[in-house]
Amino acid sequence: MQRAIERRGIPTVSVTVALDVTEHAKPPRAIFVPFMMGHHFGVPFHRELQRRIILEAFDHLVRAEQSGEIKRLPVTWARARKEGKAIEQAMSSRA
Amino acid sequence: MTDSSENSTAQLRPGLWQTVNERYPGSMIHKEDFVPLARLRKPLSESRLSFVSTAGVQPKGSLPFDTVHPVGDYTFRHVPSASRLSDLEIHQLKYPTAGALRDLNVIFPIQRLQELAREGVVGELTANFFSFIGYNMDAERLEATLAEDIAGAVAVEGADVVLLAPA
């Protein structure tokens, strides 16, 4: 999919949680986050993390020099969940 | 909570490619070569961004993806980039939706992309984003049909750059 788009001259970047699948499929550019499947952009209501992952992908889109480069983000699922819980607690105490 | 993988930067579910490929031989994509990089023609702040998702997100009222077909559903849906979260729903069975059902942005970050376009980080969004389901057992068929169909649709929208989230 990503390769088909890139072949049409349109630069692409993907966000993956499955590093091994991405290494096999060899898309032109990808960033890897060690998150649960279905949670590529983090946890509910954590806007800052969701935004950061998109911006990291954009940065890789602009900077990557070799096809197949996979950038690993220094984030953890445990921390994302912890921050997400704190955000939801703050939301419920405001409600 | 003491599981060391919880604090790891490694893949949470290791060996995914091999596990699925053993169960469904030929269903997983493997490439030996790399495609040449396309170059950005203008700064991101002047570029039109599209988004492609395998998350089975679709506008309410559009034909639901066939999540139980034995070889998968090779169709895709247009998702207007101006959609509100309440306009959209998910039809898929293959990834955990615990987060997405509470905040769709965790897998389909449409509100964050709308914000980044308003702020001028990207020039604009394509009128439509694109969505399909990742459950497709015939990798060759996927590549010959759906991949080309979506690549064509993205080009028709005049996308300068594309973000993808293979769920």
Q: Encoding tokens for residue A15?
A: 């966000």
pLDDT at B31: 92
Provide the residue ranges of all domains of chain A, joining segments of one domain with +. Answer: 2-94
Cα A37 to Cα A61, B69, B97, distances in angstroms: 22, 22, 9
Mean pLDDT over B101-112 rounds to 97
CA angle in degrees (0–180, nearest 5) for B14-B15-B21: 150
Residues 72-91 of B with CB under 8 A from A: none
Kindly tell me if the per-residue pLDDT of B47 is higher than 90: yes
Mean pLDDT of chain B: 92
Report pLDDT digits (tens) over B117-165: 999 999 999 999 999 998 888 888 998 999 999 999 999 999 999 999 9
pLDDT at B97: 93
Closest CA to B78 of B59, B92, B50: B59
Residue type, B156: V
* B116 part of contact set with chain A, CB < 8 Å: yes
Instruction: Give percent of chain B above pLDDT 70.
Output: 96
pLDDT at B1: 44
Report pLDDT digits (tens) over A14-56: 999 999 999 999 999 999 999 999 999 999 999 999 999 999 9
Confidence class for position B2, pLDDT limits 50, 70, 90: very low
Report pLDDT digits (tens) over A66-86: 999 999 999 999 999 999 999
Residues 27-66 of B with CB under 8 A from A: 28-40, 44, 52, 55
Q: Tell me the nearest-neighbour CA distance from B107 into chain A, angstroms.
A: 5
Interface TM-score (ipTM) > 0.95: yes
The alpha carbon dihedral of B150, B155, B158, B161 has a sign of positive
Confidence class for position B37, pLDDT limits 50, 70, 90: very high
Q: Encoding tokens for residue B132?
A: 């399909």
pLDDT at B112: 98
